[in-house]
Amino acid sequence: MNRLVAAVIASILGMAWVGCSYASPAAPLPDPVVDTPLAGVSGMQTAVLAGGCFWGMEGVFEHVKGVTRVVSGYAGGNAETATYDQVSTGRTGHAESVHIFYDPARISYGQLLKVFFSVAHDPTELNRQGPDTGTQYRSAIFYANADQKRVADGYIAQLQAAGVFRRPVVTQVVPLKGFYDAEAYHQNYLDRHPNQPYIVINDLPKIAALRQQFPAWYVDR
């Protein structure tokens, strides 16, 4: 079922899906051993991550220090199929993703990945997140350069070796071939619909977890 349609039905019926899907590690995640150092001067870099519904992913990273902008969109497929209706079929190769713009002098790529694996989603769920199923909801890191690939591969290997999750990490690490902005009605969706049942059940707990687990990195918007 189209998530927007399901959300409307849930609102009308006063129902919602059960449970928020974000990582539940057996122990706090370690800092990445392999990372890029903080830059000496402010600037702008980007990261593209996929971890289920982009509403929640966008909402989480908008509250991370050093992040200046987050855009919901699609990555993994081609431009011709980058529309919500087409991506929702699960046959386009796209994943719902977020394009994160951040200041590398304030937060590193590895630190963004720590948030990604800790509270933004559950990296052990294959082709699904919580109530949403299909390859469009897969966990993926779309790297733009060799440094991002090195940090992503290194951190996943580190997490696997440490056994911090009860199941294996299934996050893909794949090259970024293109990012396509989602439709305007998807942008800042969480902020504009904070009382929608889907948001309350599945996404607001992620932001609360960010604030609790990473108080030094959490910022109000």
* Active-site residue list: 53
Q: In Å, what is the CA distance from 18 to each residue of 130, 191, 203, 220?
A: 8, 21, 12, 27
CA distance 150 to 185: 35
**Strand pairing report for 67-75 and 95-102:** antiparallel
Return the DSSP state at 218: B
| Contact between residue 20 and residue 159 where contact means Cβ atoms under 8 Å apart | no
Return the DSSP state at 84: H
| Contact between residue 47 and residue 179 where contact means Cβ atoms under 8 Å apart | no
Q: In Å, what is the CA distance from 172 to each residue of 76, 126, 135, 188?
A: 11, 10, 11, 26
| Contact between residue 70 and residue 101 where contact means Cβ atoms under 8 Å apart | yes
Return the DSSP state at 137: G
**Element (DSSP H or E) covering residue 129:** strand 128-129
